[in-house]
A and B are shown apart, each in its own frame.
Chain A
C-alpha cells in the first residue's frame, strides 16, 4: 500500500463524478498531480453520488483541474475534511459537457494550499516553508574544543535554547523590522561555561529620504543620495560564565545599547549586513577577585541571512570587539581589557515533526580576551555541530 493515491482509485472516482478518464497525462515534473492555484477562484460541484469535488478552470489554457473535497485514505476512500482549504460554494448545476464543448479539458489535480504549505495527492496538507525568526527552540550540540596551546582539550557537549524569538515587519514607505528575543543562550559542560541573554531587542529601518544628498557640479550636475539606514540594538541581562584556573568568572552584562548601520538589507529586512557600536554597563565576579564594574565600548559587524525563499538555510556571522573600562584596575594594573569574538553559524532544516522543524546547526568560532585572569590571552577556536528543535516557526511572509 502506498502513501499516494492509486490510479485505479482515481479512475473509480472519475467514473463516479461522471467525468471521463483523462486521455493524456498532465502533471508536474516531480510526479505529483498539478495543484490548483491558491490565488484563483475554485468552485465545488456535487456528483451523482452526492460527493463534492473541487474544480478550478483556467480560461487561458482551457484546462480544468478537479479533486475530491475530502482527504483520501490510502485506498482512495474519502475521509476527513480538508485542512487549510478555502471554503467554496457547492454548485449543483455544474455542466461538464458544456465546458468540454467550449474546449475545456478535465484533469485530476490537487487542492490548493495556502502559501507555505503544500498538499499531497491524498489532500493532506503539510508545511514546507518556515520562519525560524519566530519560534521557541532548544537544541543539543557536540562541541569539540581546540585551544591552540592544548590541542587535546576535552570534548564537550552543549545545550542551546531560545524561549521566545519574534520578529515583526511594519510595512510602508519606510519598512521597519522589530526583533525580539527572550532568554536565549548556550550552556556547555566539561568544562562548564554558559552564555545567556535575558532580553534582546533591535530594530532595522529602511529610510525613504536620504540622510545626505550630494550634488556634484563637475560636468553635468548630478545628485548622489547617501542613505543611512540606522537602527537600534539593545540587550539586558546578559550573563557569561567561564572557567578559570581557580573557579569560574561570571560576567554580568547588565545593559547594552548600540546604534546600527545597515550596510545591506533584503527587501523585507529579514536579512541584513550591518555594523553596530555602542556602550554597555557590566560587572565581573570571580572567586579570587570579587566584583568589579565596567563601562564597555562594543562594536560588531553582523550578517544574518535567510539563504532561500523557504527559510531552510540560514546563515549568521558576527565579528565583535568589546573593550571594558573597569573602575578598579585589573591584575596587570590596566583599567582596560579587550575581547574579540568571531562566530559563523549555519542552520538548515532537515525535517519537520508535525510541521515543527528540526534543524542542523553547524558553527565555528574564535575568541581572544584578556579580561579573565588566568585564561591565556590568545585565540581559542571552537566548533559546534548539533540539532535544534523549534516550535511555532510559521511560514515566512511572502
Chain B
C-alpha cells in the first residue's frame, strides 16, 4: 500500500509538473538541412496502435474529434472514443480489454445552470464543463481470479480544466458501474458488483502542445455492492505517461510508463513498454506539402 501510494504520488507529481510546462510555439514541421520535411507534432487521439512491454502485448483503436456549431462559437462537444482496446500478458495469465469507451465533454465558455422555475427561468453560472463517460463491454482477469466482465460503466463528469481541446482535463464525477465475475471453469455468475454512483472518479490529463508527451491519472474510490457480500469500500488508481521518442516515416513510437493500484485485488502493478502507431491521423499542423510539390517537378 505504501509503495503503491508513493508510486502514484510520484506519477501525479510528474503529470502536474509536465502539465505546467509552457506550450511549445515552434512549427510542427521540421526541416532537414537537405530540405526534407518531417512531423514534430503528433495527434495522440486518432490512431491504431500496438503496445508491447512488461505488462504484455496489446493494442487499440482511438478516435477523437470536436463538434462545433456555426451559431454557437463558444460551444464545442469534445468526443473521445476508444474501441477494441486489449492487452494480454503472455508470461502470466493476465488480460484486460474493452469493447468501447467514450468520453463526451461539452465545453462552453459560459457554463451555466438553468432553473426552469418562474418567468423568466433563472440562470446561474458555473465554472466547469460537463460531460459523461460511457464504457461498455470490458473484460479482465489476472492469475487465479475469476473473469471480470464490465457490462456497463458510466460517470457524470465536471471538467474544471475547461479546455477547448483535448490537451488538458481535470474531471471529477460520480461513477456507476455494473460488473460480473464469472468463474473460468463454467458458465455461471459468481458475483455481481454494482456501484450505483457510490464511487467518485477523478481524472487528470495533460498533453503537450506538440503531442509528444502525455500523461493521465485516474482515481476511483467509493463503495461498491457485491451480491452475497454487501457493501465494501474499493479504490482504484492508475497513472500513465507516454513520451514519443522517435518516429518512423512520421509514425510515432513512444515509451509508455504505467502504474496501477487496485484495492479489490490488493495489488500494485507497474510496467514499461513501447507503443507503435500503425495507422494514425497526421496532425493538421504538420505540412509536408512543399516537399511533395517539389518532388513533382
Could you tell me which A residues sit within 8 Å of B by CB distance?
3, 29-32, 80-81, 83-85, 114, 118, 120, 124-128, 136, 138, 140, 157-159, 161, 163, 183, 185, 187, 189-192, 194, 196, 241, 248, 250, 287, 312, 349-356, 389, 391
8 residue pairs bridging A and B, Cβ less than 8 Å apart: A30-B119, A118-B120, A127-B114, A192-B227, A353-B126, A354-B106, A354-B108, A356-B106
A183 to B178, alpha carbons, bound, how many Å?
Answer: 13
Partner of B115, one of A83, A114, A351, A389: A351
* Given A136-B104, A157-B196: A80 and B109 interface contact (C-beta under 8 Å): yes
Closest chain A residue to B118, Cβ basis: A30
A354: chain B residues at CB < 8 Å are: 106, 108, 111-113, 126, 129-130
In angstroms, how far is the closest chain B Cβ from the Cβ of A139? 9
In angstroms, how far is the closest chain B Cβ from the Cβ of A168? 18
Q: Are A159 and B111 in contact (CB under 8 A)?
A: no
Partner of B156, one of A127, A138, A183, A189: A138
Closest chain A residue to B110, Cβ basis: A124
Q: Are A352 and B192 in contact (CB under 8 A)?
A: no
A190: chain B residues at CB < 8 Å are: 225, 230
* Given A140-B176, A159-B196, A192-B227: A120 and B123 interface contact (C-beta under 8 Å): yes
Q: Are A189 and B111 in contact (CB under 8 A)?
A: no
A151 to B104, alpha carbons, bound, how many Å?
Answer: 42
Total number of A-B contacts with CB less than 8 angstroms? 125
Interface size of B in residues (CB-CB distance below 8 Å) = 43
Chain B residues numbered 91-127 whose CB sits less than 8 Å from any CB in chain A: 104, 106, 108-116, 119-121, 123, 126
A250: chain B residues at CB < 8 Å are: 189
Q: Are B126 and A189 in contact (CB under 8 A)?
A: no
Q: 0/1 per residue, B169-180, Cβ < 8 Å to A?
A: 000001010100
| B188 at interface by CB-CB < 8 Å | yes
A353: chain B residues at CB < 8 Å are: 111-114, 126, 130
Q: Are B116 and A349 in contact (CB under 8 A)?
A: yes
Chain A interface secondary structure, helix, strand, loop or mixed?
strand
A350 to B113, alpha carbons, bound, how many Å?
Answer: 11
A254 to B197, alpha carbons, bound, how many Å?
Answer: 29
| B136 at interface by CB-CB < 8 Å | yes
In angstroms, how far is the closest chain A Cβ from the Cβ of B110? 7
Q: Are A391 and B112 in contact (CB under 8 A)?
A: no
Partner of B73, one of A81, A185, A248: A81
Q: Are B194 and A187 in contact (CB under 8 A)?
A: yes
Partner of B194, one of A125, A136, A159, A196: A159
Closest chain A residue to B102, Cβ basis: A163
Q: Are A128 and B114 in contact (CB under 8 A)?
A: yes
Q: Are A161 and B111 in contact (CB under 8 A)?
A: no
Q: Are A140 and B197 in contact (CB under 8 A)?
A: yes
A113 to B213, alpha carbons, bound, how many Å?
Answer: 43
A248: chain B residues at CB < 8 Å are: 189, 192, 227
A355: chain B residues at CB < 8 Å are: 106, 108, 112, 114
Chain B residues numbered 43-86 whose CB sits less than 8 Å from any CB in chain A: 71-75
B188: chain A residues at CB < 8 Å are: 287
Q: Are A189 and B225 in contact (CB under 8 A)?
A: yes
In angstroms, how far is the closest chain A Cβ from the Cβ of B215? 27
B123: chain A residues at CB < 8 Å are: 3, 120, 124, 126
Partner of B120, one of A120, A194, A389: A120
| B208 at interface by CB-CB < 8 Å | no
A248 to B129, alpha carbons, bound, how many Å?
Answer: 41
| B258 at interface by CB-CB < 8 Å | no
Partner of A163, one of B111, B114, B134, B194: B134
A391: chain B residues at CB < 8 Å are: 104, 106, 130-132
Given contacts A31-B119, A183-B152, 17 further A-B contacts (CB under 8 A): A31-B120, A32-B119, A118-B121, A138-B132, A190-B230, A241-B192, A250-B189, A350-B116, A352-B113, A353-B113, A353-B130, A354-B108, A354-B130, A355-B114, A356-B130, A391-B130, A391-B132
Please name the 8 residue pairs, one residue from A and one from B, whose CB atoms are nearest each other, closest first: A30-B119, A189-B225, A192-B227, A352-B114, A159-B196, A159-B176, A138-B154, A140-B197
B114: chain A residues at CB < 8 Å are: 126-128, 351-353, 355
A218 to B111, alpha carbons, bound, how many Å?
Answer: 68
In angstroms, how far is the closest chain B Cβ from the Cβ of A291? 8
Q: Are A30 and B108 in contact (CB under 8 A)?
A: no
B176: chain A residues at CB < 8 Å are: 138, 140, 159, 161
